[in-house]
Amino acid sequence: MKLIFAIIRDKDTNEAVNALNREHIGVTKLSSTGGFLRDGNTTLMIGVQDEQVGAVMDILRDNCAKRTQVELVAPPPYMTGGVPVWSFSCTPIKVEVGGATVFVLDVADFQKL
């Protein structure tokens, strides 16, 4: 048996969970936050038999699309004469978002109580 942790964007959650449920694959959703863009993520916990791992990966690949979006990033303050000067301008940068970060772990024991 395997335990799959899949970290996906909030925007992809409904499609991914619905696709997993259509295949009778149970999933538990946990809210999480990304470290770079500080954007909302969802961590899915999925327990499956070893032979179902490929099907789960295909579903995640199909429903968690990578895409490019523009994010506004504020520059750090700079110093002039020992005094920090704050800039209120933001710089747009293109970043790739979406996709899934997936961890597959062996499960030593599973019990449903």
pLDDT digits (tens, 9 = 90+) for 4-63: 999 998 889 999 999 999 999 999 999 887 665 566 789 999 999 999 999 999 999 999
| Res. 68 pLDDT band, cuts 50 70 90 | confident
The answer to pTM > 0.75 is no
Residue 36: what pLDDT? 56
Residue 63: what pLDDT? 92
Question: Could you tell me the CA-to-CA distances from 39 to 11, 35, 60, 98 in Å, in that order?
Answer: 10, 8, 19, 11
Instruction: Indicate the SS3 state at residue 52.
Output: helix
**DSSP state letter for 81:** T
| Helical ranges in the chain per DSSP H | 10-22, 53-63
Mean pLDDT of 62-79: 73
Cα separation of 53 and 24, whole Å? 13
Domain covering 2-67+97-106 in this structure, CATH number: 3.30.70.120
Most confident of 34-43, 64-73, 77-86, 98-107: 98-107
Residue 47: what pLDDT? 95
Task: Please report, for the chain, the start and end positions of each structural domain, with discontinuous segments joined by +.
Answer: 2-67+97-106
